[in-house]
Chains A and B, each alone.
Chain A
Amino acid sequence: MMTYVVPIVIGFFFSFALQKAGLGHYHKIVNQFRFKDNTVMKFMMTGISVGLVCLYTLKDLGFIQLDQVSSTYIFGNLLGGLMFGVGMALAGT
């Protein structure tokens, strides 16, 4: 149950949010890079802020431990990010 059903339900709501924000469309992604349409930025920043507040509240109340923090290695993250942007602008996904 926890291993198989829960991930599917989480994925369901994740892509539901993405689809409702309209991020399945080419023009939404590319127009963010042209600063004609700030949907991507608004969506990402709201998601991050809500998640940040919820996660740190739960952590401070002692319900969860933050043990999945993405590891930082500056060169790799930066190089990956720089290449990722090229792909994202080409494909628009």
Chain B
Amino acid sequence: MAFNEKMKLKIWSPWAAGVLLGLTATASYVLVDKTIGSSGGLENIDSMLLKLFHSSLANSMYFKFQMPPVLSFQILLFVGMLLGAFTSSIWSKDFKFRMMPDQQWTQVFGPSKLKRWSMIFIGGIIIEYSAGIAGGCTSGLAISGTMQLSPAGLIFIGGLFVSGIITTKILYGGDY
């Protein structure tokens, strides 16, 4: 299949996309000696905001040395990530503004937008906070960490799946 037709596919085989991910992570290690991650960048932005509003938290050890208020590698990664996902979805005509996720959500939880938005907000807070505790998120710790055979990544994946399965089971109840 020609290159353009491949790019127009909405979904690739997960194996193919995974190979691209592995090569990207290696490239990042070789070229800039950093690992791919996404939660750290948000904490750098937090740190900048705290400094901007002269919060006393900005002087804490964590926001001063662990996540300093600088334009870090991961913030630049965000810029690229927005461009990448945008290009990919435009190219395959998959791009659209969604207020609600497709099908499955409405079947299980009903059409309430408030419910969806409050759940994604609370979920987002939990995700970012626990990424701070663990030292990385799915990409920063689970993928990049395990890639270097660090036990941290494997422990994280284990914990993630245990509680994820339990939470989904509770949320879906009989439909699980």
Q: How far apart sit A33 and B145, CA to CA, in the bound complex (Å)?
A: 21
Q: Which residues of B contact A9 (CB under 8 A)?
A: 80
Of the candidates A20, A43, A48, A68, the one whose C-beta lies within 8 Å of that of B29 is: A68
**Interface size counted on chain B using CB atoms at 8 A:** 99
- Does B160 contact A54, Cβ atoms closer than 8 Å? no
- B6 CB to nearest A CB, Å: 10
B interface secondary structure, majority? helix
Q: How far apart sit A59 and B83, CA to CA, in the bound complex (Å)?
A: 31
- Does B164 contact A85, Cβ atoms closer than 8 Å? yes
Contact digits for A42-79, partner B, Cβ 8 Å, 1 yes 0 no: 11111111111011001000011011111111101111
Q: A7-B32, A20-B88, A26-B105 are in contact. Are A46 and B158 (CB under 8 A)?
A: no
- Does A81 contact B123, Cβ atoms closer than 8 Å? no
Which residues from chain A sit less than 8 Å from chain B, CB to CB? Answer: 2-4, 6-22, 24-27, 30-34, 39, 42-52, 54-55, 58, 63-64, 66-74, 76-93
- Some 9 contacts from A to B, beta carbons below 8 A apart, are A8-B76, A20-B12, A20-B88, A27-B105, A42-B14, A48-B146, A68-B29, A81-B156, A84-B131
Rank and list the top 9 A-B pairs by shortest CB-CB distance, nearest first.
Answer: A80-B134, A81-B159, A11-B80, A46-B18, A50-B22, A91-B123, A87-B126, A85-B163, A90-B123
